[in-house]
Each structure stands twice: as structure tokens, then as C-alpha cells.
Amino acid sequence: MADKKLVEAITSMDEDFAQWYTDVVKKAELIDYTSVKGCMVIKPAGYAIWELIQKQLDDRFKATGVENVYLPMFIPESLLQKEKDHVEGFAPEVAWVTHGGLTPLQERLCVRPTSETLFCDFYKNDIHSYRDLPKVYNQWCSVVRWEKETRPFLRSREFLWQEGHTAHATMEEAEERTIQMLNLYADFCEQVLAMPVIKGRKTEKEKFAGAESTYTIEALMHDGKALQSGTSHNFGDGFAKAFGIQFTDKDNTLKYVYQTSWGMTTRLIGAIIMVHGDNSGLVLPPRVAPTQIVIIPIQQKKEGVLETAYALKDRLSNFRVKVDDSDKSPGWKFSEQEMRGIPIRVEIGPKDIEAGKCVICRRDTREKTEVALDELEVTAGALLEQIQTDMLERARAHRDSHTYVAENMDQLEEILNSKPGFVKAMWCGDQACEDIIKEKYAATSRCMPFEQERLSDTCVCCGKPAKKMVYWGRAY
């Protein structure tokens, strides 16, 4: 009975997806709640996933010439106010520091919700000549946004992220970097997180405060809701003009720089949970699994069992491997491996040792195979690759089978009310139509995908000539 307890405590995802999610983050020991509302402790099992994300993203950044820096967490109010759209966008959710010790501050400081203004203030003094360009900087840090509704990883008041901030001599170069980073994000999501994404541009209504254009990658969660998974913004020279960031170009004239910013957050952990998880808990793609293989000894008190388990661990040292030699029953350990989403478990007992084999079981399909002990390294390596590929394909198939087409409002309503997923529909380009769809169905334009299709000639909402195909959906 004890074996089942761990799993029984999770709500079924079909019954109540939100509760299932909460159960998984708690039971898989990814987070804990704290006495600060909307802020969480990221526990070792959760933080290790973030570290793997961070490491692999950072390597990819550096391969494109990105350098890491660190800026302060405080922004003077006057600095935040320099760019009008930007301050309007963020003012409702910033936290303010008003005192230093017991003394009221002359000027209050906000805790960074994002660092565009700080980077601009820094670049203003650091960039003088075309020789100082481009600047391709990134910082890993936490930011604070005073959200009203919070959920672990998806929306918390303080979260971890990276924010890239670049400055260029030309608009073309800035645009190129904006798209380069979006492509990098998309590739990372597919190759590392096994999560397919739609690449596209945000509409004027949905773009970042102060940006000229915002590009996004959008993923579909298991419950049919969309999750914005990363964004890349081209600021043009708007911030440069507001902050006076100028350089002397080769022709000896003074010009404004063109800037970009781009970010990904701990939200991605929420995405992994909601794209791959099942009713037994987490299912981690091997490339972000802190433990890729767990070896579970059967009848571990019998002679030679633990020794063999440890010998196998040594042989699997190319992978992230653990031996679960705790005094819990094997059944309990199996449930735990499933809850934590460890991609492969290896079962090894006295009879297996005698026969020179072990049993390996993959988390994603629960398929079990017997493997000769001498072949374990090769088989396990190939299986991890296979799991990674299969998880991406399954997620893609799920997304594709939950993507619909609507040509008019009746169809849009029917789909949004009965078939959770992405809806592709044509749009006239008028914000009024976006407002109507948002108000009526709580669905937003997710993006205007790079891969455009001509589904019909008229706007799904108003019937006027269509300009763009848009992905619509309810989103986290």
C-alpha cells in the first residue's frame, strides 16, 4: 500500500489540470511556498533543472559572441521614467524601496522588473565610437514584478531569468540579432526541452513596452493553453533617443545606437511540466534531467547486489546517474522515479546478476526491456537519445492535433469553447478585433507566425480584408 501513496496524492490531469500541476511541483519537490506571497523556494530538484537550462543556454549564447555582465538590482525612479511607453507598461507592477535603513530616500528606487533602463544608462557612458559597437551583453539575475495572481514557475513575484541587451550601429544589425536570438531560443526549446514552438511576431497590442517589434516563441501546454516561452525585442533607436546613447560613426557624424533585448525565465520549468508530465508526475527530457538514470537494486541486502549496482553506476559515468540504495521498497522507489521524471530506471536483482542482465524501464512510455549487462552503456546512451527525440515528436503531434482553423466568429467561438488549443485565423490588422476576441472569449493573439498561410480572404472577426494569419489562444 505504501507504494501507491505517493502517486495517489496527485490529482488526475484530466480532472483538474491546475491542481495536477500544483501537486506535481510539490510532490516532485521542485518548490516550496514561503511566507512572502507569490515567492517560492526553488528546491534542489527544481534548481538542478534550472542549472541545466542555464548552462546549455549560456553555452549557446556565448557561441554567438554574448558576454555576461551584472548590473544593480535597483533603478532610480527618474531613470525608469525616461522612456514613456516603458514606464507605463511596468509601473503597475514594480516594487519600490523608499528607505535606506531608517532614512527616507531622496529618490525612491524600484526593484528591477527588467533592466533596459539600467543598460541604457550604462551604455550612454560606455559607448562613444563605432569601435565600441556592437555591445552584446547578457545578465543572469532575478527580477521582481508585483503580480496579483501567482503560480509556481509560471507567474511569481520574483523569478530567475536571463536578459540580453545589445547595442548596434545600424537598424539592420539590431534586427538581425533580434531574430538570431529568437531562433536560438526556438532551437533550444526543441532540442533541449523537447518542446516545439511557433515562432512569430507579436501584434502592436501584445508587444513589449517600449519596443518597436517583439518576436515570440509560443508553446502549447497539455491542457491546450498557450505559454509564451521566450521573447526577443527590437527597440530601434527609441531608447537611445530617450537616454542619449550616441556614437561617432566612421563618417565622423554623431548617431544613435539601435538596441535589442531578449529573455527566458524559470517559466520554462513550468512549460516542461505542462508539456511532458502525466498522471504519475514529471517526465523530464533527458537533456534537462538532473538524474538521467536511476539504478534500483532489488533485494539489495542480498550479497553482491549493491556492489553490482555501484559497479554499473561507475560504468555509466558518462551520464547523470544515481543508485537509490535507501531502505524504501522497490515499488516505492519506482513511484518516486516516476514522480521525479527520471528518464530511465535500471532494475538489478540477484537473479538478473546471475543471468548477466538487468531490466531497463523508460519513464515516458514505461516500456521495459532486458539488457545484457555488458551492453548497458551503449543501450542506455541510445535510449536517452531516443527518449529525447520521441518526447519532441509526441509534443509536436499533440500540438498539431490541437491546432484548429476558424474562418468566422461562430467557428472561433465553437473551437474556443469546446476544443482547447491554438486557433489559426486571419486578421485585418485592426486592434479593435483583437479587443473583441479577448473580451468575448478571453483569447489573445499569440503571434503572427513567420510561416504565414492564407486560410481565407477576410478577418475572422470583422470580415474586412485580411492582412495576416494569427495564432489565437488562451494563455498562461
Residue 298 or 437 having the CB closest to Zn ion: 437
Rg (CA), the chain: 25
Q: Where are the beta strands (DSSP E) in 135-266?
A: 135-144, 158-168, 198-201, 213-220, 226-236, 246-248, 254-256, 258-265
Q: Where are the alpha helices (DSSP H) in 10-99?
A: 17-27, 44-63, 77-80, 84-90
Residue 279 or 408 having the CB closest to Zn ion: 408
- Among 200, 121, 114, 195, CA closest to 162: 114
Cα–Cα distance for residue pair 298/124, rounded to 1 Å? 64
Contact indicator for 305, 297 with CB cutoff of 8 Å: yes
Other beta carbons within 10 angstroms of residue 282's beta carbon come to 24
Residue 203 or 229 having the CB closest to Zn ion: 203
- Shortest distance in whole angstroms from residue 433 CB to Zn ion: 3
Query: C-alpha 125: how far from its chain's center?
Result: 33
- Shortest distance in whole angstroms from residue 430 CB to Zn ion: 5
Query: Which single residue is written with the C-alpha cell 493553453?
Result: 225
Question: Binding string to Zn ion for residues 187 to 226, with x set by CB under 5 A, is what?
Answer: ----------------------------------------
Cα–Cα distance for residue pair 295/347, rounded to 1 Å? 6
Cα–Cα distance for residue pair 134/258, rounded to 1 Å? 10
Contact indicator for 204, 386 with CB cutoff of 8 Å: no
Query: C-alpha 279: how far from its chain's center?
Result: 21
Stretch binding Zn ion (CB under 5 A), from 4-12, 203-211, 328-336, 454-462: 454-462
Question: Binding string to Zn ion for residues 309 to 348, with x set by CB under 5 A, is what?
Answer: ----------------------------------------
By the rule CB under 5 A, 433 interacts with Zn ion: yes
Stretch binding Zn ion (CB under 5 A), from 259-267, 335-343, 352-360, 429-437: 429-437
For the record, the C-alpha cell of 347 comes out as: 532494475
Contact indicator for 82, 204 with CB cutoff of 8 Å: no
Cα–Cα distance for residue pair 475/232, rounded to 1 Å? 18
Residue 383 or 459 having the CB closest to Zn ion: 459
Stretch binding Zn ion (CB under 5 A), from 156-164, 248-256, 277-285, 455-463: 455-463
Residue 244 or 465 having the CB closest to Zn ion: 465
Residue 380 or 459 having the CB closest to Zn ion: 459
Query: Which single residue is written with the C-alpha cell 494563455?
Result: 475
Q: Measured at the alpha carbon of residue 9, what is the angle toward residues 5 and 11, in degrees to the nearest 5?
A: 145
By the rule CB under 5 A, 428 interacts with Zn ion: yes
By the rule CB under 5 A, 409 interacts with Zn ion: no
- Shortest distance in whole angstroms from residue 461 CB to Zn ion: 4
Residue 416 or 433 having the CB closest to Zn ion: 433
DSSP letter string over 275-328? HH-BTTB----GGG-S-SEEEEESSTTSTTHHHHHHHHHHHTTTS-EEE--SSS
Stretch binding Zn ion (CB under 5 A), from 109-117, 333-341, 394-402, 451-459: 451-459
Residue 136 or 412 having the CB closest to Zn ion: 412
- Shortest distance in whole angstroms from residue 471 CB to Zn ion: 16
Question: Binding string to Zn ion for residues 135 to 174, with x set by CB under 5 A, is what?
Answer: ----------------------------------------
- Shortest distance in whole angstroms from residue 462 CB to Zn ion: 3
Max intra-chain CA distance, the chain: 81
Stretch binding Zn ion (CB under 5 A), from 125-133, 259-267, 346-354, 430-438: 430-438
Residue 272 or 428 having the CB closest to Zn ion: 428
Site residue total, Zn ion (CB under 5 A): 6
Instruction: Name residue 367's amino acid.
Output: E
- Shortest distance in whole angstroms from residue 201 CB to Zn ion: 18
- Among 232, 233, 228, CA closest to 212: 233
By the rule CB under 5 A, 459 interacts with Zn ion: yes
- Shortest distance in whole angstroms from residue 457 CB to Zn ion: 12
Residue 272 or 409 having the CB closest to Zn ion: 409
By the rule CB under 5 A, 79 interacts with Zn ion: no
Residues that bind Zn ion (CB under 5 A): 428, 430, 433, 459, 461-462
